[in-house]
């Protein structure tokens, strides 16, 4: 059974008892198989695994789902016990933010595009909490899902720019057999919406196929965008083909030397906003 910890002081004493390397998996709870794949990768990589569960208010805008975000600590810890982790750090908001933080992480220009356009304060809040939890746990390695690709790129950039002593590892997206990317927000989808939501993965698959057959970033974007824009029940927010490291638009800046691109999309299905992405190669 993992040890459930809710204060920073208890976290420090529990960490002091551990010898060997430590891997961190940060979550907001409502755990699913996607999170467990991060935990399994963490277990492979280090002697000990710490999982944090905290619904971080700083990364939700005023009209977003902070209040309704699923909170199910008992079910989450039970699920983590099936895989086996050392520590679960699940602090209250007052423990993490005893007062409004005055010193803030500025995530820079990469946080103002795509997710950052629709969710202007999101990445500042994400980096604030990620920086804080990395400082509290001081892991050797931290695992983040490829599903939140822009978040991943920003975390890597923060760690590089601030010389933070941690290795960041990405874990591929977990999908249901239908192709839908696993997300805690999938629980909001009704039966018909679930079927409509499959269009996101289908649009990305079409784009990937086009890239495989030699299409340019613009052609890849257009084929995926057309499919999703016409998909019933789906309201497109954005679809673009970007550099996975910088989130620059490859239609504008061209294919980078590393040849990798990422088709990214966000769309509403009913009132649920979903994101997804797929890696593509443009170097033949
Ligand atoms: O990806 C998430 O679940 C969150 O953004 C994270 C990294 C746990 C920070 O709150």
From 247, 266, 265, select the one nearest 256 (Cα to Cα).
247
Whether ligand 1 lies within 6 angstroms of the CB of 269 is answered as no
pLDDT tens digit sequence for 136-160: 999 999 999 999 999 999 999 999 9
Residue 21's pLDDT is 98
- Compute the distance between CA of residue 133 and CA of residue 28 in angstroms, rounded to an integer: 12
Q: Which whole number is the average pLDDT over 195-215?
A: 98
Number of neighbouring beta carbons within 10 Å of residue 234: 23
pLDDT interval class at 221 (50, 70, 90):
very high
Q: How many angstroms is it from 126 CA to the middle of ligand 1?
A: 6
Is the confidence at residue 22, as pLDDT, over 70?
Answer: yes
- Compute the distance between CA of residue 175 and CA of residue 154 in angstroms, rounded to an integer: 23
pLDDT interval class at 121 (50, 70, 90):
very high
Of all protein residues, whose CA lies closest to atom 3 belonging to ligand 1? 27
Whether ligand 1 lies within 6 angstroms of the CB of 206 is answered as no
Q: How many angstroms is it from 125 CA to the middle of ligand 1?
A: 10
pLDDT interval class at 283 (50, 70, 90):
confident
Is the confidence at residue 278, as pLDDT, over 80?
Answer: yes
Is the confidence at residue 284, as pLDDT, over 80?
Answer: no
Is the confidence at residue 38, as pLDDT, over 70?
Answer: yes
Q: What percent of the chain has pLDDT over 70?
A: 100
Of all protein residues, whose CA lies closest to atom 2 belonging to ligand 1? 27
Q: Known catalytic residues? A: 35
Q: Which whole number is the average pLDDT over 82-86?
A: 97
From 4, 33, 5, select the one nearest 145 (Cα to Cα).
33
Q: How many angstroms is it from 207 CA to the middle of ligand 1?
A: 27
Structure tokens at 157: 């950039």
Is the confidence at residue 104, as pLDDT, over 80?
Answer: yes
Q: Which whole number is the average pLDDT over 52-81?
A: 96
Q: Which whole number is the average pLDDT over 251-265?
A: 97
Whether ligand 1 lies within 6 angstroms of the CB of 77 is answered as no
Residue 1's pLDDT is 82
143: β partners: 25, 169
Mean pLDDT for the chain?
Answer: 97
Of all protein residues, whose CA lies closest to atom 9 belonging to ligand 1? 126
- Compute the distance between CA of residue 144 and CA of residue 130 in angstroms, rounded to an integer: 11
Nearest atom in ligand 1 to 184's CA: 3
Whether ligand 1 lies within 6 angstroms of the CB of 129 is answered as yes
């Amino acid at each position: 059974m993992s040890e459930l910890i809710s204060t920073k002081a208890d976290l420090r004493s529990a960490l002091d008892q551990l010898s060997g390397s430590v891997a961190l998996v940060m979550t907001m709870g409502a755990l699913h198989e996607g999170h467990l794949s991060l935990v399994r990768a963490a277990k492979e990589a280090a002697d000990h695994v710490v999982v944090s569960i905290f619904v971080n208010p700083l990364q939700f805008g005023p009209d977003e789902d902070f209040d309704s975000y699923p909170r199910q600590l008992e079910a989450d810890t039970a699920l983590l016990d099936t895989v086996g982790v050392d520590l679960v750090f699940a602090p209250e908001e007052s423990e993490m933010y005893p007062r409004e933080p005055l010193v803030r992480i500025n995530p820079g220009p990469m946080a103002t595009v795509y997710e950052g356009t629709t969710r202007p304060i999101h990445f500042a809040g994400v980096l604030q909490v990620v920086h804080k939890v990395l400082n509290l746990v001081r892991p050797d390695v931290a695992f983040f899902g490829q599903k939140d690709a822009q978040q991943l790129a920003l975390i890597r950039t923060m760690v590089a720019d601030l010389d933070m002593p941690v290795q960041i590892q990405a874990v591929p997206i977990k999908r249901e057999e239908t192709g839908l990317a696993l997300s805690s927000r999938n629980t909001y989808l009704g039966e018909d919406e679930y079927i409509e939501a499959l269009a996101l993965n289908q649009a990305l698959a079409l784009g990937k196929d086009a890239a495989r057959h030699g299409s340019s970033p613009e052609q890849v974007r257009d084929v995926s965008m057309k499919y999703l824009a016409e998909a019933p029940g789906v309201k497109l927010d954005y679809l673009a083909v970007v550099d996975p490291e910088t989130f620059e638009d490859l239609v504008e800046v061209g294919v980078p030397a590393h040849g990798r691109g990422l088709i990214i999309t966000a769309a509403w299905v009913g009132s649920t906003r979903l994101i997804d992405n797929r890696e593509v190669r443009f170097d033949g």
